[in-house]
Amino acid sequence: MARVAVIYGTTEGQTAAIAERIAGVLADAGHDPALLHGAHLPPGFEIEAYDGVVVGASVHVGRHQRYVTRFAREHAAALNGMPAAFFSVSLTAAAGTDEARETARGLLEEFLTETEWEPDATAVFPGALRYSEYGLLTRYAMRRIAKQYGEDTDTSRDYEYTDWDAVDRFATEFAGLLE
Ligand SMILES: Cc1cc2nc3c(=O)[nH]c(=O)nc-3n(C[C@H](O)[C@H](O)[C@H](O)COP(=O)(O)O)c2cc1C
């Protein structure tokens, strides 16, 4: 049984939900996951206390949460020496075109270059459009962006694009790396 830190950055909650799902799969595989918000790590957090780490963050205006970038950069040496995985959540990943997929992948690669971390596994997951939770300006900005990518523009409801089977596969493969 491996002790695994599942650390996430989230702004509207979708990456938190994905991290929770990953922690559930790891627990079902017999491991001991700790689900941790990257902006509120427990006092005395030490990466050495874990046998593996999964980090996730979402993209807002072309960047992942700064506190996650900072965490990965500060712990890159330790992360590079242990089983570790990174996943990126974005709307771009939800658009079905090759160009959008490349953009989403490019954002993930930028994160890895910036942090000097070379994880054993990476993934890009489509996120969600939570119009009901955005303020007026954000709602209209997101509607414009969604239109540009051919996604849903009815702001009277929310949309979730995450492929949960892909999340489960990613978590199961990572569980295998811990054995
Ligand atoms: C203000 C705002 C800016 C965003 N900017 C981007 C972006 O630049 N690229 C992108 O692919 N997705 C962008 N998104 C979409 C988010 O990545 C997506 O909604 C994701 O599910 C958010 O995850 P979270 O709920 O964990 O924060 C943006 C969303 C919001 C609300």
CA 85 to chain centre: 10
Structure tokens at 42: 């427990």
**Alpha carbons 53 and 22: distance in angstroms, whole number:** 11
CA 156 / ligand 1 centre spacing (Å): 18
C-alpha of residue 130 to centroid of ligand 1, in Å: 10
| Pairing status of strand 52-60 against strand 63-64 | antiparallel
pLDDT digits (tens, 9 = 90+) for 27-38: 999 999 999 999
pLDDT greater than 90 at residue 95: no
Question: What average pLDDT does this structure show over 69-80?
Answer: 98
Q: Is residue 149 part of a domain?
A: no
Mean pLDDT of the residues in the chain: 96
Ligand 1 pocket check for 103: Cβ under 6 Å:
no
**Minimum CA distance residue for ligand 1 atom 15:** 91
Report if residue 79 sits inside a domain: yes
**Is the beta carbon of 92 within 6 A of some atom in ligand 1?**
yes
Q: Residue 29: its pLDDT value, please? A: 97
Question: Residue 152: inside a domain, yes or no?
Answer: no
Domain of residue 53 covers: 3-127+162-177
CB of 146 closer than 6 angstroms to any ligand 1 atom: no
- Note whether residue 109 is domain-resident: yes
Residue 139 lies in a domain: no
Residue 148 lies in a domain: no
Name which residue sits closest to atom 2 of ligand 1, judged by CA: 60
**For the whole model, what pTM was predicted?**
0.97
CA of 59 to the centre of ligand 1 (A): 5
Cα 111 to middle of ligand 1, angstroms: 15
Distance CA 116, CA 137 (A): 35
Q: How many residues does the chain have?
A: 179
Q: Does residue 99 fall inside a structural domain? A: yes
Residue 63 within any structural domain of the chain:
yes
CATH number at residue 100: 3.40.50.360
Q: What's the domain count of the chain?
A: 1
